[in-house]
Amino acid sequence: MSLDPQAKWVLDIAIEAKVPPLEEMTATEAKAAYEERAQKLCLKDIPIGKTEDLDIPGPNGDIPLRIYTPVSGGENLPVVVYYHGGGWVIGSRDSHDALCRQISNEGTFLVVSVDYRMGPEAPFPAAPTDCLAAYEWVLAHIANHGGNPKAVAVAGDSAGGNLSAVVSLMAREADLPIPAFQWLIYPATNMHMETESHEALAEGYFLTRDLMTWFQGHYLPSSKDRNDWRASPLLAESLKGLPPALVQTAGYDPLKDEGKAFADRLAEEGNTVAYTEYPGMIHGFINLGGAIDTANVAINEGVTALKAAFQNHKA
């Protein structure tokens, strides 16, 4: 399938506006630029029942969270712990605010957005350590905020998809209750970047090879860390005993093949998994609901899968 016209428009306006590539910036500049860009093409003015910003204790300092209660309200709601994308370097609970509001309202879920530590200030494995700590906090404390600690899923896009998969693995390894579900949106699963889609789509579709290399340079202290399953969950020795999953990829995304490979391995090792490729889409599309209609289709698919998983989890 050819590039979706709305996705092409997003790429074209960036070229016309002469938007400088993030990889040509310092990390500090890129963080600020991404926050500004993230607000431009998301859906605007989405109502929400309530948001609560708080800091929770983490193993290496406080971790900021934002808890979303849907417009419809409710008590003992299913919980989605959301890890934002941004290459483990950029992004925040603000950059993904609109998306978390949509998920909360459409699913009648409590959504907990996690502002985990990132590179270069806090390199790997700070992010997965914080993400697991936030998951553990939710299990222990979310009942005080209207959530059901026995119905907790993880979700995230790109780096956040990576972290959702890693938290599921870490929970299994630590003998914690595993998440009820993992919604992995175009996840990074193998830091080696050696797939056909990495070769074919290295330039021109927002997430480039140069930008991925820049992200890794700020996140991983050493190239050897690419082999650590907490960075590359596809390289874990076993993927058995993990939560049911939905893996979504984009047809014009260099991460497409590694996302598909992770879904295939989950299925091969006995897990329940659904896989959907959005063929005309680019990396990052789910956060562009103000410009790309398919973003809302993908969100609806994820919310529907979460609802079914929570229902099965109760049974």
pLDDT in tens, 4-58: 999 999 999 999 988 899 999 999 999 999 999 998 999 999 999 999 999 999 9
Q: What is the distance, to the nearest Å, from the Cα of residue 128 to the centroid of all Cα atoms in its chain?
A: 12
Annotated catalytic residue 253: yes
Query: What is the distance between the alpha carbons of residues 95 and 85, in angstroms, rounded to a whole number?
Result: 9
Q: What does each C-alpha distance from 23 to 34, 217, 260, 265 come to in angstroms?
A: 12, 10, 26, 32
pTM: 0.98
* Of residues 306, 311, 315, the one with CA closest to residue 182: 306
Contact at 8 Å (CB) between 231 and 193? no
- Give the pair of three-digit tokens for residue 170: 């870490």
Q: Which of 84, 218, 283, 313 is catalytic?
A: 283
Q: Could you tell me how many residues make up the chain?
A: 315
pLDDT > 90 fraction of the chain, expressed in percent and rounded: 95
Q: Which of 164, 253, 257, 313 is catalytic?
A: 253
Q: Which of 92, 113, 158, 168 is catalytic?
A: 158
| Per-residue model confidence (pLDDT) at position 313 | 75
- One-letter amino acid of 154: V
Query: What is the distance between the alpha carbons of residues 20 and 36, in angstroms, rounded to a whole number?
Result: 13
- Three-state DSSP state, 290: coil
Q: Which domains does the chain have, with CATH numbers?
A: 5-314 (3.40.50.1820)
216-274 per-position pLDDT tens digit: 999 999 999 999 999 999 999 999 999 999 999 999 999 999 999 999 999 999 999 99
178-191 per-position pLDDT tens digit: 999 999 999 999 99
Strand order in the sheet with 245-252: 50-58, 61-69, 110-114, 77-83, 147-157, 182-185, 245-252, 273-282
